[in-house]
Amino acid sequence: MAKGQCISVRDIEGGQCGDFWAVDADDFDHFLSPSHSWVHIGRIQPRVGDELVTNRREPILKILSDDVGWHDMLVPACDRHRYERYYGIAGHRNCHDNFLEAMSTREWGKREVPQPFNLFMNTFIEPDGTLHIRDPISKAGDMITMMAEMSLIVVVSACPMDLNPVGGQGITDLEILVGDSEEIILNR
């Protein structure tokens, strides 16, 4: 994505999460950081109009519209360790490796997979700190649209988790639309 371009991610059938990453196209050590974004916006849940920031606290994406209004920025990408240690399953597709696969042609190298922005993922924290992961609340066709504030590489992995409520009632596709403005995307 070029600076100023917009991206929409649409939950086609509803109830499907997607791990979303944005990396500075010119510097792979510089990327969207949920934890730095929390401090910037004063919330762990971003809202329309919020600017998300990088690990160097630079604006990277602005949220233009959002049909759901509830996403997750807490849960790290599932990886083979998650499936092996917690479910006893080897070889399961996972968002961590999906990111590395997507970036394998771009010399990501041995860098850590950054903390994702988990679109349509429904987590909730109780006042005592208890973390709940629940069925997504997104409905068929719901989407979120963001504008790039720098030149970006974006990776989205439709969450393949089928062993806990995070994925709702089944694994389905997400649609990704990129355009020069929000209007161009919405009028497609």
Q: Which residues of this chain interact with a second copy, rule CB under 8 A?
A: 29, 33, 35-36, 38-39, 42-45, 55-58, 74-76, 79, 81-82, 85-86, 110-112, 115, 124-125, 127-131
Q: Which residue number, 11 or 50, has a Cβ lying nearer to a second copy?
A: 50
- Smallest gap from Cβ 38 to a second copy, in A, equals 5
- Smallest gap from Cβ 117 to a second copy, in A, equals 13
Give the bridge partners for 18, in sequence order: 119, 158
- Smallest gap from Cβ 3 to a second copy, in A, equals 19
- Smallest gap from Cβ 56 to a second copy, in A, equals 5
94 close to 78: Cβ distance less than 8 angstroms: yes
- Smallest gap from Cβ 181 to a second copy, in A, equals 28
Contacting residues for 9 by C-beta, under 8 A, at least 6 apart: 18, 20, 119, 143, 144, 156, 174, 175, 176, 177
Contacting residues for 25 by C-beta, under 8 A, at least 6 apart: 1, 150, 151, 152, 153
Question: How many CB atoms are closer than 10 A to CB 101?
Answer: 12
Amino acid identity of residue 39, one-letter, is V
Cα separation of 116 and 20, whole Å?
5
Assign 107 to helix, strand or coil: coil
Question: How many CB atoms are closer than 10 A to CB 83?
Answer: 19
Q: Which residue number, 57 or 106, has a Cβ lying nearer to a second copy?
A: 57
Q: Which residue number, 5 or 55, has a Cβ lying nearer to a second copy?
A: 55
- Smallest gap from Cβ 115 to a second copy, in A, equals 6
Q: Which residue number, 107 or 128, has a Cβ lying nearer to a second copy?
A: 128
Give the closest residue to 98 by CA, choosing from 121, 71, 80: 80
Q: Which residue number, 113 or 148, has a Cβ lying nearer to a second copy?
A: 113
Q: Which residue number, 110 or 188, has a Cβ lying nearer to a second copy?
A: 110
